[in-house]
Chain A
């Protein structure tokens, strides 16, 4: 379920960018990891490993913990957002009116370049990522949760509520929706389309960074190629949910997380050990392909013209 929330956040980033630009941002998964990498760097600089300050051996509790967590998440979000802005300004903006295939190729290029850059800067090995919280488990209604899972879930829910409020109620949100509806018309009505697009990119990348950091904490590690997996799964969630539709994305993200968890847990039991937990992703992709065939606009999407046949 927690992992589903992470996928939801990534899917939202895809969906929002797709909404305003009608393009798939291949580099989104890598931006998520970039956020995680940067906050890991921050943690190293601050000398924090395994949930305590190393230099003076102070356990992180109370206000200190909140401060460190805020630093980690805000730092990662900021860094990812800045990276997204640079990419948007120098790669995607000049290509705004180019053919969609050209844009896809350039996005692919950005993704490859980012991955390799992370490898060069942060190293090519798996890195352990401190979870900050001392592991504690508790049981609610027969299921066991760790405090980290609860923390990620609460954080995600807060972010989601904030995001929905932003998009539904504020002026910026109204502008975003207008641009998503019709870019040229929005421009004619006096909306600064470029600024809206920039805002959406930054927002999407910041959400992605939260997802990337949560993912790193959840698995206790980060790796420069994680972005590729996140990219596929997040994109899959966005498409299953109906790209451009935020509620659909959240639901689809949770669905994929659930599929993975259930698949990983029950597959070996159900098939008598014939199919191991390694096969869980296959079901996610099968669901994706079936969704695309049966209802290409996604489970909640409007039947838009995305099929050209």
Chain B
């Protein structure tokens, strides 16, 4: 009720310069040809980028690409559907361990990448779906607690089971290879991650505009209202659980193949917090925002490496979260409403 005017008053001074930039942007992109040319330019730039960058920066970009995928998945769960998942690290680890176990000397299994990929992604989705079945009817913080508890259970298991080589982690994981080609250098991985990111982006973008995407948004805005319009909210939320973690599992697989070494230390709750920060900074409920948030939060801190500020990285993430929820809860790139969608951004 009062909320709307209040938050607007706070937001105003901040959003004036931003909205002007956005306005130019919109003028450019409202033209079909403008949009196509822009898209081509971006694509060309992304394709030739490895020629100009050192291996170090390529590596940063590879990592950023993985986070883009995860952030997109998180955005689907939290941004569209409003499911507060605090256990993302566990799903990342599921994908990574799946690949690592099936393609490493640990159990002497060396299945090809293209076989493992569907298994790993499917398994990640299945785990999320199964976790969702009992817990999906819980709301907000309760769901957060269950997923957090699940992530802890998962971490304890991975840390102690012989099957996952406990706390030592798994070494000598096979690099990712498709028939006739093995991905070796960072630029190889760049050309693997880039198309995967683009595919994830477009799939999620299409989902967003589909019937299902609109249904998810309806659930986020008002679940009871969504139910009264005849949506099976339970199934839809479970679907969001399963689909939302798929890119996370995918990122985990690539991560394991790229690093050739994983240990439980790589999948702490810090990863989850980072992904949440990305989604919030970029803008919830908007795939572009998720991409922007991931790129910003991975690439911007890089020049600070080695300086004293580096150890304050988590502090900055925390402050960013506070800052954004106070002054710009919709993120840098908020969801744009289509004319047919009524303006109802507010949660409960």
Binding site for B on A (CB under 8 A): 23-24, 91, 94-95, 97-106, 108-117, 119-120, 124, 228, 232, 235-236, 239, 276, 278-279, 281-282, 285-286, 288-289, 292-293, 296, 306-309
Contacts and interface: CB of A to CB of B under 8 A. Distances in A.
Contacts of A117: 315
A307 B277 CA distance: 27
B311 to A, nearest CB: 6
B228 interface: no
Given A239-B145, A292-B146, A108 B6 contact: no
A250 B127 CA distance: 33
Contacts of B312: 116, 120
B135 A289 contact: yes
A24 B233 CA distance: 25
29 contacts: A91-B322, A94-B326, A97-B6, A98-B325, A99-B348, A101-B84, A101-B140, A104-B84, A104-B141, A106-B326, A108-B276, A109-B318, A110-B318, A110-B322, A112-B318, A113-B322, A114-B318, A116-B318, A232-B152, A236-B145, A278-B160, A279-B160, A281-B153, A289-B146, A289-B150, A292-B138, A308-B139, A308-B224, A309-B233
Contact of B157 (A99, A113, A282): A282
Given A101-B82, A235-B145, A239-B145, A307 B322 contact: no
Contacts of A306: 138-139, 142
B109 interface: no
Contacts of B160: 276, 278-279
Interface in B292-348: 311-315, 317-326, 329, 346-348
Contact of A288 (B137, B145, B156, B159): B145
B276 A285 contact: no
A98 B84 CA distance: 16
Contacts of B84: 101, 104
Nearest to A113: B318
Interface in B1-42: 2-3, 6-7, 10
Given A105-B280, A293-B134, 4 more contacts: A97-B2, A99-B346, A239-B145, A285-B153
A236 B147 CA distance: 12
Q: How many B residues touch the partner, as a band?
A: 35 or more
A195 to B, nearest CB: 21
Given A98-B325, A102-B347, A104-B141, A115 B314 contact: yes
B321 A279 contact: no
Contacts, number: 149
Contacts of A228: 269
A91 B327 CA distance: 11
Contacts of A111: 318
A120 B311 contact: yes
Contacts of B2: 97
A296 B142 contact: yes
A111 B144 CA distance: 15
Nearest to A229: B152
B325 A106 contact: yes
A235 B149 CA distance: 10
B261 interface: no
B142 A106 contact: no
Taking each of B82, B137, B324, B325, which has the highest tally of chain A beta carbons within 10 Å of its own beta carbon? B325
B183 interface: no
B78 interface: yes
B3 A98 contact: yes
A288 B144 CA distance: 12
Given A100-B141, A110-B318, A116-B318, A105 B149 contact: no
B144, B159, B321, most chain A CB atoms within 10 A: B321
A102 B329 contact: yes
Contact of A104 (B140, B149, B319, B326): B140
A253 to B, nearest CB: 15
B314 A106 contact: no
Contacts of A276: 160
A117 B280 CA distance: 21
Interface in B119-144: 134-135, 137-142, 144
Interface in B155-170: 156-157, 159-160
Nearest to A293: B134
A60 B166 CA distance: 44
Nearest to A23: B141
B234 interface: yes
B173 interface: no
A98 to B, nearest CB: 7
A86 to B, nearest CB: 12
B218 interface: no
A307 B149 contact: no
A14 to B, nearest CB: 10
Given A97-B6, A104-B84, A279-B156, A109 B142 contact: no
B223 A308 contact: yes
Contacts of A236: 145, 149
Interface in B53-109: 78, 82, 84
Contact of A116 (B6, B314, B322): B314
A112 B314 contact: yes
B322 A285 contact: no
Given A104-B144, A109-B318, A114-B318, A307 B138 contact: yes
B149 A232 contact: yes
A113 B140 contact: no
Contacts of B139: 306-308
